[in-house]
Structure 1
Amino acid sequence: MSKENAQNPDNQHTPDQTPQLSLNDQMQRRLEERQHLLDAGINPYPCHFDVTSFSLDIIANFREEAKEPVAVAGRIMTIRKMGKASFFHIQDSKGKIQIYLKKDEVGDTAYDTFKLLDIGDIVGVKGYTFKTRTGEISVHAESFELLSKSLRPIPVPKEKEVDGEKVVFDAFSDREQRYRQRYVDLIVNPEVRQTFIKRSAVVSFMRQFFSSQGWLEVETPILQPIYGGAAARPFTTHHNALDMELYLRIANELYLKRLIVGGFDGVFEFAKDFRNEGIDRFHNPEFTQVELYVAYKDYNWMMELVEELFYRTALEVNKSEVTLFLGNEISLKPPFKRLSIIDAIEEYCGKNIRGKSEVELRNVAKDLGLELDPKISSGKIIDEIFGEFVEPKLIQPTFITDYPTEMSPLAKEHRSQPGIVERFELIVGGKEVCNSFSELNDPVVQRERLESQAKLRQRGDEEAMIVDEDFLRALEYGMPPCAGLGIGIDRMVMLITGQDSIRDVIFFPHMKPE
């Protein structure tokens, strides 16, 4: 650690300030202990330790008649220093286990070193398994090694018995603090790890599910000269060498369709996408989604695929098709309810908006008490009505289908209903978790749609799409009938793990500056 960082571990200062000493007493003491170790010729940060066993495995496989040799490593979470023998618990990636340390066995030097250790330090222990008089499976240390000296004390919760019940004090429970310091959250609230282990399992299963169908996992550009594939505002950056403006992608749709044009029957991509929008329980400006495109299929086929995918993912990860989400018990067992967006508004609002003009739609919104931006068009008005009065009421999985054309410029015209496109969104727990089209593959109609979007931009709609000439050129070479799908991984993980905020399923969510 440099001299500067030793004085200020966070290394935080404003441009007009020199880092100042700002350590509390505990941190000062730990720095002094670190120096004592160095003075004694002990490296507080060695290079490696050969781990052979993990806490929960030791406990699960314990045999009282056998002293199994083990080498474990982890962070000290409790410590009881006594005269010639001490106990401490370490926490590894799987759980906790108690260590028994005896001065006569590890030697004076090692035991004196142990006295300089604190809760939060990471150690490696070699020894054998045994059970204490109180029945706790433990490791009898024959040697130990300091692997990392912790300079900042961790906020360890304390338990006390009050009126016969255990009460936890000083828990690291403030949500904003947990999100900002996820590394501490994972240390002191190990149950949080399970959410992210399940997140990994969700992505792993979905990847396997798609690959088993013979579809190809691909990668497409994150930096794009023209952003498209969704209605959203982008983040903008600049490429110095080419002296050109570029955008972080808001979706990967248009590039994946180019690959269908190129001859692949099915492609998918797990992608980081970026939308310059607000932050709330369901939105993070940087998010993960998977997009899938399959040639010769339509949105009806895709609905059945989504039902199977969500059902099988829940069974794989939770061992049950039922999940508790936002206080509701939700079943992901097919079939899911299907309802057109027009019928849904009529069912939940008592308003028939089929075929109504923009003026008439504004009057409907006004009757419902909804204030609208005067710049938005008919499609956005319908979207606002649905989002405000219908979507929150759709708790069990529901496919909302058949959107007005203006709302979906990349979707194919409905085969039997003029002015409608073949699109669905899956709503669960009152929130959209995926979006799908029968993809528009007529280049002439697609150009007309994108040019109409350009006119909406001129009216002030910053989320309207841009005319992408290269994408249109690709369509002009011919794209087969195709079904496309986008699933928000963060929201799907919220659903599967029962979390009520997107920040609980993203390791490092975006936050306002401290």
Structure 2
Amino acid sequence: MENMDLNEQERNRREALAKLRELGIEPYPAALYPVNATARKIKEEYDPEKGNLQDIVIAGRIMSRRIMGAASFIELQDETGRIQVYIKRDEICPGEDKTMYNTVFKKLLDIGDIIGIKGFAFITQTGQLSVHAKELTLLSKSLRVLPIVKEKDGEVYDAFSDPELKYRQRYVDLIVNPSVRETFIKRSQIIATMREYFNEAGCLEVETPILQSIPGGATARPFITHHNALDIPLYLRIANELYLKRLIVGGYSGVYEFAKDFRNEGMDKTHNPEFTCMEIYVAYKDYIWMMDFTEKMLEKIALKLHGTTVVTIGDKQVDFKAPYRRMPILECIKEYAGVDVAGMDEEQLRETCNKLNVPVTKEMGEGKLIDAIFGEYCEKHLVQPVFITDYPVSMSPLTKRHRSNPALTERFELFVCGKELANAYSELNDPIDQMERFQDQLKQREHGDDEAMYIDMDFVRALEYGMPPTSGMGMGIDRLTMFMTNSPTIQDVLFFPQMRPKKTPGQENVGKKEE
């Protein structure tokens, strides 16, 4: 990078870098640094009466500093939080040479630099728990200026909050916004809680292919790529359902996977082309059992994260305590749209959509027309967790027909705050019925629906060997994290969301002038 591309502060930092090396100080040392404490651990364990924690080794980033002659204070931030460090010239420079304090610390270190401190815990005269430094080590010199984020009385202001910069430069966002770090910690806790719940139920975590010759398991538009050695097209998976069900055929009683899925579709506040979906399949169960299983899991997650089942989502208080309401989709449409669509054919459904002012396209078949009415009139009313059940066959090509009504299927979708959170079935295990539904999907594709499913003959062959009665459920981890952390967009719960190309230059320098 040419110096003319740098602002004044960045040039000053590079000059400081050169001076550090002239002094024989390596700004990026390779050796292990023996950290034995964190900001949180010190705050939790220090007892002023005992005077413990006398041999502390901590490391972190300088977030603020107050230089006062021969003594100074800095605020050091690590993964767990911040703690004040007291630095006295004659303590870190006990001999005649005061270079480490007078030159290195006062003139060559900057906010954002990562340092190590060896010392002991104590309480200052103003009553603040701090670390008294006996030794200071530079661990990494920061060459860019951090945004200034101010905090007073627990309130953050002047935050690094521009969405464009936050998502493109998540590393900066994580440094200066503790609440963002906490969101991703909770995301990890959600996955860990789910994994524990599934393992306790006797299910096996598995991995299935991301590159697939036939994109199956969902109605969506796939990404396509090319395998050079085999000279064949391959697709990034849109779902892992069909592979997981092959494993049930193979003899496993329960399998699950946290899968990266990809759909070549639009981007908005709740959709990213790359996303994480958990799918689980359990033999000898049905969709009624899966409803019970799902609501108990969500109750467990809420309690783990919040200590209560009541979670704030936007301006609403949502209670994840089981059991949840259960409502057939046709009854839901009748209640909120005022029409009975049971038994309607495609032409009648189109007429109904026109009367209800529901936007439709000529490619939409019966299933998508019903879904359009449901989306327009019903979803917004489904705030508290509710299982919408018993979908028409045309909406559910992989679902077993309802045991008491063959026009319907044993399927549920879980809705929270007007959004689908989970989708589950009593799985279709009749290979002849499955083949007929694949053929119907093929007709829809020929009719112009590029999201209709492909025919997967190998999956049909697997079913022909016999799959036991099985219930399966898929849940979007990103959306679940949005709900459990009260995050308004999917971009807020993905470390590195997909972004549109930059339209304007000059976004490299995210910092402000240091104060």
Aligned to 1:367: 355
Structure 2 counterpart of 1:58, one-letter code: I
In structure 2, the gaps of 5 or more residues are 503-515
SS in 2 for 1:403: coil
Distance in 2, matches of 1:360 and 1:196, equals: 47
Find 2:305's aligned residue among 297, 310, 317: 317
1:131 equivalent to 2:123? Answer yes
Moved over 4 A (4+): 165-169
Q: Write the mapping of 1:13-412 to structure 2, written as runs, cut at 5 A.
A: 21-47=4-30, 48-65=32-49, 66=51, 68-107=54-93, 108-111=98-101, 112-115=103-106, 116-158=108-150, 170-412=158-400
Q: Give how far 1:356 is off.
A: 0.9
8 Å CA contact retained: 1:77, 1:156: no
Q: Write the mapping of 1:348-497 to structure 2, written as runs, cut at 5 A.
A: 348-497=336-485
Give % identity. 55
SS in 2 for 1:360: helix
Structure 2 counterpart of 1:260, one-letter code: I
SS in 2 for 1:420: coil
8 Å CA contact retained: 1:76, 1:121: yes
Structure 2 counterpart of 1:100, one-letter code: Y
Structure 2 counterpart of 1:120, one-letter code: G
Q: Give how far 1:226 is off.
A: 0.4
SS in 2 for 1:34: helix
SS in 1 for 2:233: strand
Q: 1:251 to 1:167 in 2, by over 3 A?
A: closer
8 Å CA contact retained: 1:289, 1:487: yes
SS in 1 for 2:326: strand
Structure 2 counterpart of 1:367, one-letter code: K
Structure 2 counterpart of 1:267, one-letter code: V
Structure 1 counterpart of 2:11, one-letter code: Q
Q: What whole-Å deviation, never above 9, does each CA across 1:304-334 have from its counterpart, x for those lacking one? A: 1111111111112211111011221011112
Distance in 1, matches of 2:207 and 2:473, equals: 16
Structure 1 counterpart of 2:21, one-letter code: L
Q: What whole-Å deviation, never above 9, does each CA across 1:373-431 have from its counterpart, x for those lacking one? A: 11111110001111121112100111111111111110011111121111000001110
Q: Give how far 1:159 is off.
A: 5.7
Q: Give how far 1:81 is off.
A: 2.0
Q: Give how far 1:63 is off.
A: 2.4
Q: 1:293 to 1:168 in 2, by over 3 A?
A: closer
Structure 2 counterpart of 1:23, one-letter code: L
TM-score by length of 2: 0.93
TM-score by length of 1: 0.94
Q: Please give the root-mean-square deviation of Cα atoms over the aligned residues, in Å.
A: 1.4
Q: 1:159 to 1:466 in 2, by over 3 A?
A: closer
Choose between structure 1 and 2 for higher RCO, CA contacts under 8 A separated by at least 6 residues.
2
In structure 1, the gaps of 5 or more residues are 9-20
Q: Give how far 1:166 is off.
A: 9.6
Distance in 1, matches of 2:415 and 2:150, equals: 42
Structure 2 counterpart of 1:81, one-letter code: I
Distance in 1, matches of 2:242 and 2:492, equals: 30
Distance in 2, matches of 1:103 and 1:421, equals: 76
Q: Give how far 1:246 is off.
A: 0.4
Q: What whole-Å deviation, never above 9, does each CA across 1:106-147 have from its counterpart, x for those lacking one? A: 121211211210000000000111111111111111110000
Q: Give how far 1:168 is off.
A: 6.0
How many residues align? The count is: 493
